[in-house]
Amino acid sequence: MEQVIQLEKVNKWFDDFHVLKDIDLTVTKGQKIVVCGPSGSGKSTMIRCINRLEAHQKGHIIVHGTELTNDLKNIDLIRKNVGMVFQQFNLFPHLSVLDNISLAPIWVKKMPKKEAEEIAMSYLEKVKIPEQAKKFPGQLSGGQQQRVAIARSLAMNPDIMLFDEPTSALDPEMIKEVLDVMIQLAEEGMTMLVVTHEMGFAKTVADQMIFMDDGRIVEQAKPDDFFNNPQSDRTKLFLSQILNH
């Protein structure tokens, strides 16, 4: 299998605080990895390092054979191929939904406006809200905003998608509509790295589970083994809390 992301002994500090400790991770093409763990365990920081929203201080991160360094060219190259969806949606409030999505194709890929808008519409249809194209983000529900955010990422045609707790800021009744879009994406073969506590989603979609605690990957296993036969006590405790809740 083709390796698309490799993390080798990645370490990161926020001042004195050691957030990531010797992280090793390999992602192959088409793989869906769900990352879970208590808050502060470094899971968000880890995926934010993959498109350089955070810089790591030690170790190597290689995406599509390009190593992430301070070289801005490499960072731009990697960002073009790696999409990211945030917990807080982070739509641009002064732009319409359509403009939110077509912005990057127009400015980063230098696509003609008309073509970019056609692409934007096709992705809006994919996330099932084409009728909202002319509205502004403030006029949409949280679930709709997050689907626009997914469409915005997809419009750059990335081959890897990072999701940073995409449903944590949503009301319960809106979580499903976002997860459905993500499941559809997974079925189409997108390589996905998802930080989430939605264990139902993990069981449906993931082919690899990662549990992080205190800046380390504590356990990495297939979902079946992970849920039914966790190895470490820390994972067992976490799962018992999150599943009985």
* Nearest to another protein of 105, 223 (CB atom): 105
In the list 79, 126, 147, 234, the residue contacting another protein (rule: CB under 8 A) is 79
Alpha-carbon gap, residue 177 to 53, rounded angstroms: 27
Q: Choose the binding region for another protein from 7-15, 77-85, 203-211, 235-243 (rule: CB under 8 A).
A: 77-85
Phi and psi (nearest 5°) for 2? -75, 125
* Nearest to another protein of 138, 172 (CB atom): 138
Q: Could you count the other beta carbons within 10 Å of the beta carbon of residue 176?
A: 16
In the list 24, 58, 108, 225, the residue contacting another protein (rule: CB under 8 A) is 108
In the region spanning residues 136 to 155, those forming contacts with another protein, defined by CB under 8 A, are 138, 149, 152-153
In the complex, minimum distance from the CB of residue 113 to another protein, in angstroms, rounded to a whole number: 13
CB 66 within 8 A of CB 77: yes
Q: How many residues line the site for another protein (CB under 8 A)?
A: 24
- Does 107 help bind another protein (rule: CB under 8 A)? yes
Alpha-carbon gap, residue 204 to 126, rounded angstroms: 20
SS3 135: coil
* Nearest to another protein of 147, 152 (CB atom): 152
In the chain, where do the E strands start and end? 3-14, 17-28, 32-36, 58-63, 66-67, 82-85, 160-164, 191-195, 208-213, 216-221
In the complex, minimum distance from the CB of residue 232 to another protein, in angstroms, rounded to a whole number: 32
Pick from 30, 72, 35: which is nearest to 160 by CA?
30
In the list 39, 57, 69, 88, the residue contacting another protein (rule: CB under 8 A) is 88
Residue 223 DSSP label:
H
In the complex, minimum distance from the CB of residue 176 to another protein, in angstroms, rounded to a whole number: 24
Reading the block at residue 61, the tokens are: 């991160």
In the list 8, 11, 38, 53, the residue contacting another protein (rule: CB under 8 A) is 53
DSSP string across 65-133: TEE-SS-HHHHHHHHHHEEEE-TT----TTS-HHHHHHHHHHHTS---HHHHHHHHHHHHHHTT-GGGT
- Does 186 help bind another protein (rule: CB under 8 A)? no
- Does 80 help bind another protein (rule: CB under 8 A)? yes
In the list 46, 86, 160, 211, the residue contacting another protein (rule: CB under 8 A) is 86
In the complex, minimum distance from the CB of residue 144 to another protein, in angstroms, rounded to a whole number: 17
- Does 82 help bind another protein (rule: CB under 8 A)? yes
Summarize as ranges the residues that interact with another protein (CB under 8 A).
Answer: 51, 53, 76, 79-80, 82-84, 86, 88, 90-94, 103-104, 107-108, 138, 149, 152-153, 156
